């Protein structure tokens, strides 16, 4: 196999890059508009970070990052918020919220990589912008495959659904088959975070500054003490139930103020995973929400992955956002394994 090089657009803190590198791919550049991503990206990965907006990138700039590779891979996970909360309005493809995916499409056409991969929210598949993206790839002679992935079936200790697209000029390409295809094989919360030091709400571990949890007020402390793993606020005494949940309109909102279960994957890790009231993010046995480190581990980052420079405080909201927005490392590794397998097969 000749040299394979990857450019990772919208790279964030390096979840996809770290996974691709674990699979044996050489990621030569990561691009993101958020300066807070530079330290974690470069401190944990053998790659260089470029603080740029994708819509400002040129053909010569991106092409120049590939240093004579035999096979060029262009990866991108455009920010997903527009696709999960909006519908395509009267401005259609001119709308600003679709801009970044069309910019990714432009760079594919301009730089002509051998392989393309994209990861995003499942809702994207419903929009014209996705149809346009696939049509453009096919027009430029790519074999395209895409599917909705249940990440727990690939060894992520989290129930997370993502849209994964692979496209290649070398021949048909597809994601590898699930590696953990039955519930008995799923990685659980207990499998991955049980060994971390015990932690009280609002405290920071001496051993690991990222193992820190949010403060709980007196009322929320009583609520989490009354919460059962896998249960809901309906298990609480009436005096602990929030007024909004007592109303008819609030009785169905049972996915907040919950404890996770040891023997199942966690719920989807969001940018708010460190807050007990933001979802089912209560620790299974300790009276607190997930720590930043636990959220990162459930996103399959290594236990020693660095998110802030030495001596700099790890802000709950700022670092929580970076972790929640990341492509899970394990999913990146699965994508990388699929690409490597495809390249080897295509050489036969």
Cβ–Cβ < 8 Å for 198, 285:
no
Beta carbons of 180 and 153 less than 8 angstroms apart: yes
Alpha-carbon gap, residue 108 to 137, rounded angstroms: 8
- In the chain, DSSP assigns E strands to 4-9, 26-32, 48-51, 71-76, 115-120, 143-150, 161-168
For 144-159, give the DSSP string: EEEEEEEGGGGT-SB-
Q: What is the CA radius of gyration of the chain?
A: 21
Helix axes 128-139, 99-111, angle to 10 degrees: 0
Sign of CA dihedral 71, 77, 78, 84: positive
Q: SS3 for 201?
A: coil
Buried residues in 286-303 as b, exposed as e (16+ CB within 10 A): bbbbbbbbbbbbbbbbee
Answer yes or no: 11 catalytic.
Answer: no
- Alpha helices, DSSP H, located in 185-309: 189-193, 218-225, 243-246, 292-298
Cα 322 from chain centroid (whole Å): 9
* DSSP β-ladder status, 4-9 and 26-32: parallel
Q: Give yes or no for a contact between 227 and 279, defined as CB atoms under 8 angstroms apart.
A: no
342: DSSP letter:
H
Q: How far apart, in whole angstroms, are the C-alpha atoms of residue 280 and residue 277?
A: 8
Determine which one of 11, 37, 77, 80 is catalytic.
Answer: 80
Catalytic residue ranges: 80
């Amino acid at each position: 196999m000749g040299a394979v090089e990857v450019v990772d657009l919208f790279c964030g803190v390096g979840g996809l890059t770290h996974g691709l590198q674990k699979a044996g791919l050489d990621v030569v550049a990561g691009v993101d508009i958020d300066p807070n991503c530079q330290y974690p990206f470069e401190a944990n990965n053998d790659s260089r970070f470029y603080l740029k907006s994708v819509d400002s990138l040129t053909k010569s700039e991106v092409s120049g990052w590939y240093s004579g590779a035999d096979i060029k891979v262009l990866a991108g996970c455009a920010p997903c918020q527009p696709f999960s909360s909006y519908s395509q309005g009267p401005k259609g493809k001119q709308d600003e919220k679709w801009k970044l995916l069309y910019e990714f499409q432009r760079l594919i056409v301009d730089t002509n990589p051998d392989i393309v991969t994209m990861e995003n929210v499942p809702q994207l598949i419903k929009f014209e912008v996705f149809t346009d993206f696939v049509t453009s790839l096919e027009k430029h002679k790519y074999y395209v495959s895409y599917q909705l992935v249940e990440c727990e079936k690939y060894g992520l200790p989290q129930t997370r659904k993502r849209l994964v697209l692979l496209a290649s000029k070398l021949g048909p390409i597809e994601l590898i088959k699930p590696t953990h295809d039955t519930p008995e094989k799923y990685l659980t919360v207990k499998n991955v975070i049980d060994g971390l030091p015990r932690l009280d709400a609002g405290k920071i571990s001496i051993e690991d500054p990222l193992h820190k949890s949010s403060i709980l007020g007196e009322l929320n402390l009583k609520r989490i003490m009354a919460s059962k793993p896998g249960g809901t606020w309906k298990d609480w005494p009436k005096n602990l139930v929030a007024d909004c949940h007592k109303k008819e309109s609030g009785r169905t909102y049972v996915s907040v103020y919950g404890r996770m279960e040891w023997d199942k994957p966690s719920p989807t890790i969001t940018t708010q995973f460190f807050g007990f009231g933001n979802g089912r993010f209560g620790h299974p046995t300790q009276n607190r929400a997930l720590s930043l480190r636990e959220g990162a581990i459930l996103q399959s980052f290594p236990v020693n992955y660095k998110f802030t420079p030495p001596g700099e405080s790890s802000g709950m909201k700022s670092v929580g956002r970076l972790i929640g927005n990341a492509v899970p490392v394990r999913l990146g590794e699965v994508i990388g394994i699929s690409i490597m397998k495809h390249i080897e097969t295509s050489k036969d």
